[in-house]
A and B are shown apart, each in its own frame.
Chain A
Amino acid sequence: MRLVLLLCFFTSTFAAIAQDSTYRLHAVGVDAFKNVPFLVFFQEKTTLGLYTGERSSFYNPIIVEAYGQITTLKPNTFLNVGIGYASIERQLEQRLRQNIKGYYLKIGKEYHSKFRHSIENIFWGYNLILTRTAVEGLIDLQGNYFPSYSTQLPTDSGFGIGGDFSVGFSFLLFRRLQMRVVSRSGVAVSKISSPNVPYLPGVGIRLSNSLLSLSGGATIQLFYLIKRSPRHNLSN
């Protein structure tokens, strides 16, 4: 049922008709779609990683990203700046509960294809990601013959750095409202790995708990294209 709803959502958005071809210099955008995979796919316990075979589930995701896209002197080349906040809870088997939260900053460049200006576009780019993450943990063991036992774990916090390569396509939904479907793969270096933190804000789900780890995913962003400045003439 959830898959069907997701499919309907995709179909309805792709059917939207572009209504404006305003060329833009800058854009601002948001990405709140990153919550959806956690709400759809990770509510039930799933095995992530290859180490212990322990299963975990994610719940209560709050992941919000805001973007600014600024034109550069090079044609079809943009500078991307994004800030984000992520908070997510995780249950590992029956023994560990975690609250992972953090802020992140993304800075990168994006290259747009030329066809049909801003109505439809293919783009690719790269980002540098800086993240500050804190993990609060709770060992929570369900009792059967005795009352349940729980104890707070020390908060684990620190910085991480990552990079990603993204590719996607965009189209106008309504006037200057643009939808972007982005696929990305990346790598992160972070000492925040204990105890089993598979999610790193800004990077996403990591494939291992090691210092260097890979990640990837896809998301949908909404951008508002800022009308060109009257002082600039794009034909020059």
Chain B
Amino acid sequence: MLKRSVSTSDFLHLPANLHAMMKMGFISGLLLGFLFSCTEECGIIAEPTLAIIFPFTANKPVFTKIRAINGVKEIPKEGVKSSTIHSYGDIYLPLNLNADHTTYIFEQRNRVDTLTIFYQKNIYDINKKCGYIVDLEAPKLGNKIVSSFKRTQAEYYSYYSKQKSFTYREGGGGIVVQINEL
């Protein structure tokens, strides 16, 4: 008796090449999923930055100069980097790892403001992939932020990040300061 093997393409009445394409798509999906699940950024790998956000759309401040206390170089008035897909900031400013706080002086045409952000450095042996990493966290005691801006708020996210799924990435944002009112 002759036996005919029945493949899924026969069963679903799909053309053979479509079946092969589906198979390839499935394998590629699995592979991509695996790659995404393995993607990690190992914390601070260069001078870390602080993201500053102005959550209002109108009358955003225009700084003429930004300086950092104990800085060795002038900070560009537009900040040191731009937003990425993983983190948003109107301005990114460098943080001093040699101290537990960084103070900035913001100069506008008729106004000068200061902002000091406090943090605590921690070193973790996070896993066998990244090994030891440096991360910045909220100070256990004392102020998080001191500023001449009227209403400010600081959030601390890990600088270490890991892709948890296709759409969700955990951590990586770093310290974010929201200036709600000038």
Contact = CB atoms under 8 A, between A and B. Distances in A.
Interface string A119-156: 00000000000000000010101111111010101000
Contacts of A146: 47, 68, 70-72, 94-98, 102
B3 interface: no
A210 B129 CA distance: 9
Q: Which of B128, B131, B133 has the most CB of A within 10 A?
A: B131
B181 interface: no
A196 B133 CA distance: 11
B80 A145 contact: yes
Nearest to B80: A145
> Looking at chain B's contact residues, is the secondary structure mostly helix, strand, loop, or mixed?
loop
A207 to B, nearest CB: 13
Interface residues of A, number: 27
Interface residues of B, number: 31
Given A93-B45, A95-B42, A151-B123, A144 B132 contact: no
A87 to B, nearest CB: 19
A149 B97 contact: yes
A137 B42 CA distance: 16
A194 B132 contact: yes
Contact of B45 (A50, A141, A195, A210): A141
B6 to A, nearest CB: 39
A143 B72 CA distance: 9
A115 interface: no
A194 B68 contact: no
Nearest to A151: B123
Contacts of A95: 42-46, 133-134
Contacts of B75: 145
A209 B128 CA distance: 6
Contacts of A141: 44-47, 97, 134
Nearest to B130: A52
B107 interface: no
A153 B131 CA distance: 11
B164 to A, nearest CB: 16
Contact of A153 (B40, B95, B97, B123): B123
Contact of B72 (A51, A93, A147, A209): A147
Contacts of B70: 146
A44 interface: no
A209 B43 CA distance: 18
Interface string B61-88: 0000000101111010000100000000
Contacts of B102: 146
Shortest beta-carbon contacts, A-B, top 5 = A195-B131, A149-B97, A145-B94, A51-B129, A146-B96
Interface of B: 38, 40-47, 68, 70-73, 75, 80, 94-98, 102, 123, 125, 128-134
21 contacts: A52-B130, A94-B46, A95-B42, A96-B132, A141-B45, A141-B134, A142-B46, A144-B73, A144-B94, A145-B47, A145-B80, A145-B94, A146-B71, A146-B98, A146-B102, A194-B128, A194-B131, A194-B132, A195-B131, A196-B128, A210-B128
